[in-house]
Amino acid sequence: MLNIKITKICLNAAVALILPLAVSAQQADPSPAKPSPNIESHIGNLNGHSDSGADLYYRYCWGCHGARGNGDGENAPWVTPLPRNFVPATFKCRSTPTGTLPLDSDLYDSITRGFITTNMPGWATLTTQNRADLVAFIKTFSARWVTDKPGEPISVPPEPALTLDSIKHGKALYQKLECWKCHGQEGRGDGPSASTLTDSNDQPIRPYNFYTGYRFKCGTSNSDLYKIFMTGLDGTPMPSFADVVKPEEAWDLVHYLRTLQIWHKSPELALWESTPEGADIVKAERVRNTYTGNPMHP
Amino acid sequence: MDWSKFINFKGGRVRARSVPFSLFLLLIIALVDCRPANAIPAFARKYGMPCSSCHEAWPKLSPFGQQFKDNGFQMGNDRDAPIFQSPAYWPITMRITPNWHLEHQDNAIVDGPGGPNTALANITTHGFDFGGLDILTEGTLAHNISFQLVPSSDETATFHFESVNVRFDNILNSSWLNVKMGKFELDNLQSEKRIMTLSSNGGFYQNYHFQPWVAPGVPESSYVFGLGDNQIGIEWMGHSKDDRTRVSASLLSATDGNPAFQSGVGGAASSAYEGFIAGSRAFQLGNLGLQRVGGFAYFGRASTFPQYTTDNAPINGTGTGNEPYYRAGFIGMWYFKKLDVTTMYFYGHDSVYLGTNTPSNAGSAGLPSGAHAPTWNGALFETHYTFNPQMIFINRYELIRMSQQALDSNPGDLGNVDALTFGFRYYPFVSSRTGLAFHNEYSIVWQRKTQVSPTTGLPIDLTSSSLMFGLDFAF
């Protein structure tokens, strides 16, 4: 009988312990207010649904992007650069002109790819349907998705044949367009303006370092690089050059920028190194610093 | 409120009414308060992500968490190497579980009026307790070089090293080329180190540790092996970029993970090597989720007698007369949105010498009459319903059926096992740095004819059960 009583007391104590803890936890942090539901996304044959995306968002994303999508998740203070605020619906990686909303596929690609040099990983392990659902849910955070339409995607003409002239013309454009002011003469992200740059959150932001990087914020291919400076990276100091350069000039710039990635093998770098001028420049750059193998810490 | 009105006991056993009531009470609390949960303190601190990213409900990995692990604890966003971390960051997590538990065993052999081990009794014990401590340190040493060091203790603070390894990741920039060496968990898709149940009877997989019985009351004693035990060796592992395809192969010392060539019990380990291979493929099935199917096989060799002894004590590492054993199986992990079911088929085989505890130096002449290599089949069905990242319901049923007994004289069902476990885990509060789960579990295991009744001399079944309420926390 004594054992029975002891057991009864123990279980009572366990229930009494659990109940107030759970109730107090419930009071401490109100449930996040979910934005308006029932927005869809369309990526190819995929149709995403925001109501399905909500469950995924509150599993994977809210810690950084916040329960209301305004980038104030509880981890945000420890994340640099700050997580994306979805309320203004301003996105870096688009195939649409600067200032316009991106396509659903742009957001889908961003989720899939992630963003290098940030805390945002790639989410390719999620199913394609999951990612489409997340895109739909992200759109519920901003009224712009109701009032505006995504911009018309820019056309990316076929890449012209790689020539030495193209690289040299790109090199001249790099000077003419003053890319060096932010990215530095050697593309190391150490131009004279680099230390003064801030993003739309008024946070310091570093220009892209071609010397160490081989992936870009918005992809890895030449056409991704083309789109980056023809659409700009909204929310960052990187403007769109669509009104300044012609498409063929943009490709020249692409070819030149690839030669700045001296640790990343590419046809552009090989061609550039085959010239005495290019070989000297690349050799000098390689000698200037011994690359440690760490892509972010030469 | 007088809760005792709702909780009733009889004969020291919990009546069914009390358990459903507790479950009902916590379910109501959980349903009222459905917020995102997170944990994984060390990695959460490093990456600033909720634990629900990598865990469907910790410690169970999500596909994203599996990829993170397979990629050498790297997100691939150029923020992985420790050079990017705050100098204050320390990649350490501790996990322990204070709990109340009740253990019950039918047909336990106890001392009686006739002397030692002459009576049978039903034994029930219960009380407040706590489990062992895991000190989990994992992370990156440099870009594409990761490590695991897990000192682990039992509840008396006796430590051993659960994991000690270094892994070279993405060699030649290929996700198919990852190599680690040291002590590590086998590449089990159904990870016992991430098991969702913790009680004495439910805290491990029966199929992973089963070894057949030589005869009623006589277990195999030549060697000890568990597919769920961490092993010592070297592993090659490869996976596709999206982790849909995974393959691995390991070369291991035949020590069941024990250091210094100890076999774990009795006999001396040999210097033999063993192998483990595993492979799986995931595929998307409509909008139901990511399904995964795979297979695995372990090829082992255990010594049956020592080559040298000192004062009749075997010298570790000199075991010889190695005899083979193997385990193989198939696994399917099926997702139906919030409901997932893991199914596993398991096959085991031990050499006739291992199965009869017979040194092999005398050859077949030394075997008892009617001896056979024991074989068996097993199955596992584990179901989870993840209501949300804060609440997961767990059910598991395992069975093991002998297909060939070690001795003709054995009952056909000697050693057969049925094990049923169910429970739920509730993660009550939101924190980006710590994790806490209210762990609630009941588990019961039936083993057939594994004991000999001291009163009748006949083989009898052994039934044991556990009831557990715990506070499983990590920080």
Q: Is pLDDT above 60 for B48?
A: yes
Position B5 scores a pLDDT of 33
Q: Do A114 and B44 touch (CB under 8 A)?
A: no
From residue B468, alpha-carbon distances to B17, B128, B373, B472 in Å are 16, 10, 38, 11
Distance between CA A43 and CA B251 in Å, rounded? 45
Residue B403 covered by a domain:
yes
Residue B285 covered by a domain:
yes
* Residue A28 backbone phi and psi in degrees, to 5: -70, -30
The pair of structure tokens assigned to A103 is 């396509």
Distance between CA B190 and CA A125 in Å, rounded? 18
Q: Rounded to the nearest 5 degrees, what angle is found at the Cα of B186, between the Cα atoms of B291 and B468?
A: 80
Distance between CA B94 and CA B136 in Å, rounded? 6
Q: How far is B234 from chain A (nearest CA, A)?
A: 25
Fold match between domain A40-147 and domain A164-288: yes
Q: Do A122 and B284 touch (CB under 8 A)?
A: no
Tokens 């820019």, residue? A154
Are the C-beta atoms of B252 and B275 separated by less than 8 Å?
yes
From residue A107, alpha-carbon distances to A128, A280, B94, B242, B396 in Å are 13, 41, 37, 18, 39
DSSP B74-87: --SSS--SGGGS-T
Position B248 scores a pLDDT of 98
Q: How far is A147 from chain B (nearest CA, A)?
A: 30
Please check whether residue B12 touches A, CB under 8 A.
yes
Q: Is A288 exposed, middle or buried (0-12, 13-18, 19+ CB in 10 A)?
A: exposed
Residue B125 covered by a domain:
no
Task: Count Cβ–Cβ pairs < 8 Å, chain A vs chain B.
Answer: 165
Distance between CA B355 and CA B358 in Å, rounded? 8
Position A211 scores a pLDDT of 87
Q: Looking at residues B185-214, what average pLDDT do you find?
A: 95
Are the C-beta atoms of B197 and B182 separated by less than 8 Å?
no
Q: Is pLDDT above 60 for B381?
A: yes
- Which of the pair, B76 or A183, is modelled with greater confidence? A183
Please check whether residue B28 touches A, CB under 8 A.
no
H helix and E strand count, chain B: 5, 28
DSSP chain A: -HHHHHHHHHHHHHHHHHHHHHHHHHHHSPPPPP-----EEEETTEEEEHHHHHHHHHHHTHHHH-TTSSS--TTGGG-SSPPP-TTTT--S--SS-TTSBPPHHHHHHHHHH--TTSS----TTS-HHHHHHHHHHHGGG-THHHH--BPPPPP-PPPPPP-HHHHHHHHHHHHHTTTHHHH-TTSSS--TTGGG-B-TTS-B-PPP-TTT--SBTTBSSHHHHHHHHHH--TTSS----TTTS-HHHHHHHHHHHHHH-TTS--HHHHHHHTSHHHHHHHHHHHHHS---S-TT--
Are the C-beta atoms of B214 and B356 separated by less than 8 Å?
yes
pLDDT band at B51 (very low <50, low <70, confident <90, very high): confident
Smallest CA–CA distance from B6 into chain A, residue:
A12
Distance between CA A192 and CA A171 in Å, rounded? 18
Across chain B, mean pLDDT equals 87
Instruction: Indicate the helix (H) or strand (E) that contains B458.
Output: none
- As its CATH architecture, domain A40-147 has Orthogonal Bundle (1.10)
Position A36 scores a pLDDT of 58
Smallest CA–CA distance from B389 into chain A, residue:
A59
Q: Do B77 and A117 touch (CB under 8 A)?
A: yes
Q: Tens digits of per-residue pLDDT, B281-324?
A: 999 988 888 999 999 999 999 988 888 888 888 888 888 899 99
Residue B239 covered by a domain:
yes
Position B314 scores a pLDDT of 84
Question: Which is it for the CA torsion A206, A207, A213, A219, positive or negative?
Answer: positive
Closest CB to A78: pick one of B48, B429, B469. Answer: B48
Tell me the residue type at A143: A
Residue B17 covered by a domain:
no
Please check whether residue B156 touches A, CB under 8 A.
no
Position A5 scores a pLDDT of 52
Q: Which residues of chain A have pLDDT under 70?
A: 1-37, 289-298
Q: How far is A155 from chain B (nearest CA, A)?
A: 29
Please check whether residue B430 touches A, CB under 8 A.
yes
Q: Is pLDDT above 70 for B24?
A: no
* Residue B303 backbone phi and psi in degrees, to 5: -75, 150
Q: Could you tell me which of A36, A76, A149 has the C-alpha nearest to residue A84? A: A76
Q: Is pLDDT above 90 for B186?
A: yes
Which superfamily is assigned to A164-288 in CATH? Cytochrome c-like domain (1.10.760.10)
Q: Do B75 and A114 touch (CB under 8 A)?
A: yes
Smallest CA–CA distance from B76 into chain A, residue:
A121
Position B388 scores a pLDDT of 87
pLDDT band at B453 (very low <50, low <70, confident <90, very high): very high
> Where are chain A's structural domains?
40-147, 164-288
Are the C-beta atoms of A167 and A256 separated by less than 8 Å?
yes
pLDDT band at B430 (very low <50, low <70, confident <90, very high): low
Distance between CA B249 and CA B276 in Å, rounded? 6
Position A167 scores a pLDDT of 94
From residue B135, alpha-carbon distances to B154, B156, B446 in Å are 12, 15, 33
Q: How far is B401 from chain A (nearest CA, A)?
A: 36
Q: Tens digits of per-residue pLDDT, B239-283?
A: 999 899 999 999 999 888 988 887 655 566 788 899 999 999 999
Domain span at residue B153 reads 33-91+133-445
Q: Tens digits of per-residue pLDDT, B77-116?
A: 777 877 777 777 778 889 999 999 999 999 999 999 989 9
Q: Rounded to the nearest 5 degrees, what angle is found at the Cα of B30, between the Cα atoms of B29 and B33?
A: 90
Task: For residue B286, list chain A residues with Cβ-Cβ distance below 8 A.
Answer: 129
ipTM of the modeled complex: 0.79
Q: Is pLDDT above 50 for B167?
A: yes
Q: For the domain that residue B85 is a member of, what is the CATH number? A: 2.40.160
Q: Which of A30-34, B153-157, B396-400 has the lowest mean pLDDT?
A: A30-34
Task: For residue A74, list chain B residues with Cβ-Cβ distance below 8 A.
Answer: 430, 432
Mutate to test the interface with A, among B86, B170, B171, B287 (most CBs of A within 10 A): B287
Q: Do B77 and A12 touch (CB under 8 A)?
A: no
Count of domains forming chain B: 1
